Amino acid sequence: MTAPPFGGNAHLPPFGGETHIPPFGGGDQPRGGARGWDFLGTVPVPVRQPVRDGVAALLAEHGGLRACMPLGQGGHGPFQRLRLIRDLADYPGLLVSSEQGNAFNRAFHRRHVEGGAFSACQPQGAAAPFAEAGLIDPKGWIGVYAVAPFVLLADRARLGALPLPRRWADLLEPRYRGQVVFSGWRPPGPGPWRQLNLFLLLAMVLEFGLAGLERLLANVPTLLHSAQMPRLAGSESSVGGLYILPWSLADICPRRATTQVIWPEDGALAYPLWLTAQEARRERLDVLIRHFHGPALAALLNHNRYPALCPETPPALPPGARLKWPGWEAVRHPATARLGKTVRALAARHLEQTPCG
């Protein structure tokens, strides 16, 4: 399948929740799950309800749009069905996503996305950290309206006398053996890890190669659901000294006396929150497009540590902070999808003996 292959599972499924909800904004529910929506959207779990409320209020004011924004991620919802769509008329007019790839199948992508049927709708004037990281799609297909930066949450008690890392490359050093924890999930008991942060692993292998990734994995004692990391870091139940997680979660860790958020000097790894709109339906959807690039939503996202690209609102970034992004050419290259399979198999071999966090 072809999509903006951001790697996958930057935000793991919540503990439960509805798979599908009735539409809001008027109109009957289209048939076929994802088919026929004017708008289909999802955002990271921590901001899902307030973002959904804002969209619902906007649709109630303007009316006439068929829209769906599921609250849960379990089962096969409309996002899982996108890759099955073949006809442009069946595809959502505006797709807003924080999901990994598989938003388009190959034939659909080649014919409609590469053929110019979709637009990034990216406004001019993105702040320098976003432009310098290469987050603006040069082809104009995918618009990034915010990012989920991955940072480090250090448990100083677990690290002991070890120095705090400053750059991503530091995590490959043998002195951090048994200290590095990133996000993953599997059912209790023995068995494979069903989900892991493939976006992180792909970014690491693209920068440091397979040998570098193996050095990183050698330092990983276990994986942990990212929502659990701020609950455990700095406590007696902490399972590592260095947690890799979204800034939105690292920032809510309550044990500030024993933990520290580290923004890597070479840049927090930026996972895109993105959208794309059908050009032919852009005017009809303009109110929603402007909302996702607008100051009201940017204020909400910035407050919750999802820096927004809104030209009217300065992004909520630490002074001098940089962002790191593998680049559009890298994520779109056919070799990256093949590399993802290699990385997943390599991680599985390293992690098969690790306990469930």
pLDDT band for 6, please (50, 70, 90 cuts). low
> Mean of the pLDDT values across residues 204-211?
96
Residue 293 makes CB contacts below 8 A (sequence gap 6+) with: 121, 122, 123, 143, 145, 309, 310, 311
Residue 188 has what pLDDT? 78
- Give the CB-side neighbour count of residue 214, counting CA atoms within 13 A: 7
Q: Which residue has the higher pLDDT, 29 or 118?
A: 118
Q: Per-residue pLDDT tens for 298-340?
A: 999 999 999 999 999 999 999 999 999 999 999 898 898 889 9
Reduce the secondary structure of 278-297 to three states and give it as a string.
Answer: EHHHCCCCHHHHHHHCCHHH
Is the pLDDT score of 171 beyond 90? yes
User: Which sign does the torsion angle of CA 67, 246, 324, 100 carry?
Assistant: negative
- Give the CB-side neighbour count of residue 294, counting CA atoms within 13 A: 13
Residue 32 has what pLDDT? 45
pLDDT band for 19, please (50, 70, 90 cuts). very low
Residue 4 has what pLDDT? 42
Average pLDDT for the chain: 87
The phi and psi torsions of 138 (rounded to 5 degrees) equal -65, -20
Residue 17 has what pLDDT? 29
> Mean of the pLDDT values across residues 242-271?
97
**Which of 100-109, 155-164, 187-196, 241-250 is least confident?**
187-196
Q: What does the DSSP 8-state code read for residue 275?
A: E
Q: What does the DSSP 8-state code read for residue 24?
A: B
Domains of the chain in start order, with CATH, are 39-148+269-327 (3.40.190), 150-267+343-351 (3.40.190.10)
Report helix, strand or coil for 40: strand
Q: Which residue has the higher pLDDT, 195 or 93?
A: 93
